A and B are shown apart, each in its own frame.
Chain A
């Protein structure tokens, strides 16, 4: 089945591009949830090509792969849709207590960037997004108004927002509405 047949929750929605704010729907990608203890994290590192972050709410990146700490035994691993990572990771983890679950379609989202990005997020996200409190690379599950989200600061003025598939249109619309005053 060609990828063209995939239907994403933000299909048909054009990116918002303004001087202070841009919002872009995320392209499809691979998302894996890895659950396990320190041994699993250690076993996963060679297959991932990087160590899993052990500091709370921090991420690690290598190439186009990223690992986000979501809990003390839970990581969200992001990779290109065609990355053979799932199989290599499963092989590397064989024999080590862990859970590896493909959630590529469970969630989706958007990238939001620009000088107003943090302000717009704070229309519904209660966290302190100042650089001192939420530096580049920080990531966490949190809420945006009435939706749970995963928020990841990918740059000084850039964030990635993921939400459950059925919540993504709400998240987009909420942020777009909050961003209106920033053009």
Chain B
């Protein structure tokens, strides 16, 4: 047993000893310890170095507000979590923790030089110092500062742990399981409400876990917590989540919770996630987040061994750890007297209570005096001494005079209590400053929430329990569960007392009086900022960085406000309050990503023919979320060789292509043709059943939005195809017009993109290859000409067979129900007469024919006429989407960019897509740009590179010689019509 453990008491399990290491040294602790309590039990107070000055730092608090004791906990090389608060790290067997921000060791740290030269490093030091010369910031100063700055180091290996998310709903979410939260949950659950109760600590109970004197309904506080939790656990409509931080309050009562599932386990089960991100939608929220004790601001208040008074008490009563053997108390609040009395009762010497206040009366001070503890009022701590641990406190009068050194090995301080209004403020609730409480308290709610207990300034066990019960009752009632009555709990507990101070006491704002421990901001720094003209706390914060560390100023913000208010001699609320932002405490990225990583990062969409493409050796490309076969290399082939071979096969024999990703919409109803007339630029009424037409869809602004072949299956049924990427967008656009502009039309839209596998069979032999497989279909040229569609059977499967072509060859697109696609593909492949081709060959083949790809030739500012498909526009129609915009004079301006073809003078030069066109490459930059290359390939069929371009006044420039300026020199090109191959279309009609 450590000499620093009490012989009995506390909530640790003394029968379960746990071995752990800190900076490589082995220690023992008990189950139920935190890393902080276990270190203190081993006499370790020095646990870290400060951020800027590398000053030795100890454990300040016992909770999530801890600014100093940040450690890295490692399980293996990949499982290293930096910047954990030792006060929240639960001990487990063989836990390994390391201190941070020190080199080479915690005891001897080179960075401490910053502390020696600290007079040279005031607030705004960086802004003032690293301004000249200008070039040095990026190349010299910033890299050096970045290397020196920062706290822990993140592991470089991928995170091997699992994280998971969960959506949950409840009537009443209670945040915080201290006395107010437990009472609220108990009452709300009793009313029949669905309740979620969460608490950031391993054990629910909050301040009750360190409560040894009070009783509730006759129970000792700890027993009341246990019975209350048992009651809640027995209720199937209640979920209690310990180790779960409510980190963010989002719109419409969505609260983000981070549950740490396995971090406390020595050997986490593989199937459990490490953390769980809860997104809780609550009808009503009860915020019962308690209050945080403030430090006092005095010189050298950051020395290890200087601790918050209630934290000291918590270590003693909850963890059975003695924070010191001789403990000086410095306070401005009655609560520290309670700590003094508890220490005293445990046999620890309390040589002095130094109370800043001129008088200290009331129950607590009187009790301390009665116990024989010396109380000195009107006393400040002028400094502290000691090397790596406080050895004495220098007590003095505020107006100077002699300093009385009081030997000690710990100093507990209390500057009063700050209600934890973070979540209320995140919910956009309006705070008010309560002058009597010297605190900002919740005032006007925006969301459906209510605060209860200390977080709204209701202190003391009796009051907090009653307040929580009332909040639980009200919340349940507001959520529709009005049955319960808040019980009157019989509580025996002393009053909480009062007091508190914002900012330093007179005479203590001297050197090294720290306000923000984590960012090393002193009272002097904040005073300097006000003298340099900063008035708003938002500006002071950014200039000094006070409150900007990972603890978001939980222990420091109110002091900073107090200092600024005093310096400017204005009432504190006038200084303003910085905005509270999520997360309340840091949340891992893994938790936010949850399952959405690796294979589950996003859906990978595979076509029904994916396995066939894999079997044929396809190389895939990502097209949106789809995986599409790009080309099918044979042994020894690179992409160009494979694509050239595939193109030749299509042009000379036949190729097979997976077009399943094409968007498809079935448009059905008596008004289907009328609807298409209104949506598309083309005319549809006269399209015969069994015929197809190439449709162009514009947006209302007249620019091309999408295109695709539309087949008329029946008088009232059209099979509409869209681009792969445009499928969802086109359907949404159509639904928009149908539902909101023309709801009277008898027509309905159904997405059938995934219903059909689409196999394009293209090439001069396509008909002959297909013929043996069809039934009920006449493939003859007269019966089934180019741009026709028929329903029949392919390979015995009901199919929609289109005679269409995106290659310029005789071709078919076989649509069969998706599950049957592989059988049809395999049957056609088994003929040995077809060559599978991919998207790369498809792009090249269509470019040879001058067929546009929406989104490649067009960019959202091209009209149908610009894109060379103006012939599709049915100008005689009274109206269609985009028609009025196309009638604007500028839409017909002769200088608009128009689709053209380009042939390089050197047939082997392939232009870069996106390259610009000019008429005179010798002109001085900026050159007059005439247009740009949209598609560019080497065409093996033509033995020449080809390109499509959008060129200003392009159709009038056919035959012109232009240039593409490139880094290696200008490339001469000839402007041509955009159709390079079979311009008469004879092969299509074969």
Contact = CB atoms under 8 A, between A and B. Distances in A.
Interface string A167-183: 10110011001101101
A147 B746 contact: no
Interface in B270-306: 271-273, 279, 281
Interface residues of A, number: 48
Interface in A107-130: 107, 119, 122-128, 130
Nearest to B602: A146
B607 A33 contact: no
Given A1-B820, A133-B169, A181 B281 contact: no
Interface residues of B, number: 52
A125 B626 CA distance: 23
A103 interface: yes
A169 B608 CA distance: 12
A5 B817 CA distance: 12
Interface in B652-677: 666, 668-670
Given A100-B668, A145-B595, A147-B603, A165 B167 contact: no
Nearest to A32: B750
B600 interface: yes
A94 B670 CA distance: 11
A7 B822 contact: yes
Contact of B603 (A101, A119, A125, A146): A146
Given A97-B670, A166-B607, A167-B605, A124 B595 contact: yes
A8 B819 contact: yes
B281 A174 contact: no
Given A106-B752, A133-B169, A166-B626, A99 B747 contact: yes
Contacts of B769: none
B281 A128 contact: yes
Nearest to A169: B606
Nearest to B603: A170
B821 interface: yes
A123 B750 CA distance: 29
B818 A106 contact: yes
B489 interface: no
B167 to A, nearest CB: 5
A83 interface: no
Contacts of B595: 123-124, 145, 174, 177-178
Nearest to B261: A181
Most A Cβ at <10 Å: residue of B166, B271, B670, B795:
B166
Given A123-B595, A166-B603, A166-B605, A6 B167 contact: no
Interface in A65-122: 73-74, 97-107, 119, 122
Nearest to A120: B166
Interface string A1-32: 10001111000000000000000000010000
Contact of A101 (B164, B167, B168, B666): B666
B751 interface: yes
A35 B795 contact: no
Nearest to A36: B748
Nearest to A163: B603
Nearest to A106: B755
A164 interface: yes
B164 A128 contact: no
Contacts of B599: 173
B748 A164 contact: no
A35 B748 CA distance: 6
Contacts of B167: 122-127
Contact of B820 (A6, A33, A124): A6
B399 to A, nearest CB: 62
A174 B819 CA distance: 23
B251 interface: no
Nearest to A147: B603
A5 B820 contact: yes
Given A122-B168, A166-B606, 16 more contacts: A1-B797, A28-B819, A35-B750, A36-B748, A97-B670, A99-B666, A102-B817, A103-B752, A104-B755, A123-B167, A145-B595, A145-B596, A147-B603, A166-B607, A177-B600, A180-B162
Interface of B: 162, 164-169, 194, 271-273, 279, 281, 594-596, 599-600, 602-608, 611, 626, 666, 668-670, 746-756, 795-797, 817-823
30 contacts: A1-B795, A1-B796, A5-B823, A6-B819, A6-B823, A7-B611, A7-B819, A7-B822, A28-B819, A73-B748, A97-B669, A98-B668, A99-B750, A102-B755, A102-B817, A103-B752, A103-B755, A106-B752, A122-B167, A123-B164, A128-B281, A130-B169, A145-B595, A146-B602, A164-B754, A170-B604, A174-B595, A180-B271, A181-B164, A181-B273
Interface of A: 1, 5-8, 28, 33, 35-36, 73-74, 97-107, 119, 122-128, 130, 133, 145-147, 164-167, 169-170, 173-174, 177-178, 180-181, 183
